[in-house]
């Protein structure tokens, strides 16, 4: 079945959507995006995703009505027959008449598609520790993901399905996820900064950790912390909470049967997927 997509408010099969090569998304990656999951036809934390989209639009000074985005995302879900899945939705600064870094005064350009997806039974991750070579505003959910793409494809070539990034030895996040680790029965995660995306799932997991009254710390951590960690988790809208089974280029003490991971996973499924 062809994928259903939305382009500037019009829903159609993805093959029928025509995008100009003068789109600033195509030429400059001058665009921001969201990935929003739905389960049993209902969005998960929709308003929080819209707030983050608004933050990305504000920080990049892309002018676009968030209400219009909301209407288009809802329409895409309503017109699909999928029960469980996610919507990818991006907003670019617009389509220009000439290629120039200096943008013209044009209307924003909006594109999204819907994908069926099952959130359960995902396998533990095999990851590679890599240098974080990205720009200095990773808190903006920009489609400019070349730093992530290059490192993730290197990792894929050695059999990995995620990367774990560090900036000068300080842990930041995954290529498409946030990270948590357990050491001495405490759960740790890198604190929010311009170097990491404020993940919606990260936020959900922190709420669960606090509700469950588990030992928890947010701060600045290094590679030595990983070496001592008994468990490492990645979180994202499509992964939920997923454990790591191996870091291919680092010797660790990971034990895949982590009680704290099970507590958080069970509470997460109960809260968002039941
Ligand atoms: N960090 C990066 C770089 C990401 O690309 C993502 C998701 O795509 C996340 C973290 C997790 O964010 P969320 O939980 O909102 O999906």
Is the shortest distance between the CB of 53 and ligand 1 below 6 Å? no
The string of DSSP letters for 58-79 reads HHHT----HHHHHHHHHHHHHH
Q: Tell me what the pLDDT averaged over the chain comes to.
A: 97
Which of 165, 178, 207 to mutate to test ligand 1, by most ligand atoms within 8 A of the CB atom? 178
Q: What is the mean pLDDT of residues 146-156?
A: 98
Alpha carbon nearest to ligand 1 atom 2, residue: 176
224-258 pLDDT, tens per residue?
Answer: 999 999 999 999 999 999 999 999 999 999 988 99
* Other Cβ atoms closer than 10 A to 208: 19
140 neighbors 105 (Cβ within 8 angstroms): no
Centre of ligand 1 to C-alpha 235, Å, is 7
Please tell me the chain's helix, strand, coil percentages from 3-state DSSP, rounded to the nearest 5.
Answer: 30, 30, 40
* Other Cβ atoms closer than 10 A to 200: 22
Q: Is 229 exposed, middle or buried (0-12, 13-18, 19+ CB in 10 A)?
A: buried
234 neighbors 178 (Cβ within 8 angstroms): yes
Centre of ligand 1 to C-alpha 105, Å, is 30
At 213, is the pLDDT very low, low, confident or very high (cuts 50, 70, 90)? Answer: very high
Centre of ligand 1 to C-alpha 8, Å, is 24
Vertex 144 angle, CA 242 and 223, to 5° = 45
Which of 236, 237, 238 to mutate to test ligand 1, by most ligand atoms within 8 A of the CB atom? 236
Q: What is the mean pLDDT of residues 185-201?
A: 98
Distant-in-sequence, close-in-space partners of 210: CB < 8 Å, separation ≥ 6: 216
The pTM score is 0.97
Is the shortest distance between the CB of 236 and ligand 1 below 6 Å? yes
Centre of ligand 1 to C-alpha 102, Å, is 29
| pLDDT number for residue 1 | 72
């Amino acid at each position: 079945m062809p994928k259903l997509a939305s382009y500037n408010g019009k829903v159609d099969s993805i093959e029928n959507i025509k995008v100009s090569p003068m789109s600033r998304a195509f030429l400059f990656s001058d665009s921001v995006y969201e990935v929003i999951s739905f389960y049993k036809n209902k969005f998960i934390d929709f308003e929080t995703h819209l707030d983050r989209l608004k933050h990305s639009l504000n920080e990049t000074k892309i002018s676009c009505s968030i209400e219009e985005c909301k209407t288009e995302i809802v329409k895409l879900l309503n017109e699909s027959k999928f029960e469980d899945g996610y919507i990818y939705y991006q907003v670019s600064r617009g389509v220009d008449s000439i290629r120039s870094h200096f943008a013209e005064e044009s209307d924003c350009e909006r594109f999204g598609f819907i994908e069926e997806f099952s959130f359960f039974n995902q396998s533990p991750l095999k990851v590679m520790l890599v240098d974080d070579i990205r720009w200095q505003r990773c808190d903006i959910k920009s489609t400019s993901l070349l730093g992530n793409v290059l490192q993730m494809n290197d990792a894929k070539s050695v059999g990995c399905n995620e990367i774990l990034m560090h900036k000068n030895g300080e842990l930041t996040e995954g290529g498409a996820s946030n990270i948590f680790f357990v050491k001495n029965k405490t759960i740790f995660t890198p604190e929010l900064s311009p170097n990491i995306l404020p993940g919606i799932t990260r936020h959900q997991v922190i709420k669960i950790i606090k509700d469950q009254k588990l030992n928890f710390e947010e701060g600045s951590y290094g590679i030595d912390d990983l070496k001592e960690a008994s468990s490492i988790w990645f979180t994202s809208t499509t992964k939920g909470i997923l454990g790591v089974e191996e870091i291919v280029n680092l010797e660790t003490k990971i034990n895949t049967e982590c009680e704290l991971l099970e507590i958080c996973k069970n509470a997460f499924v109960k809260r968002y997927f039941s």
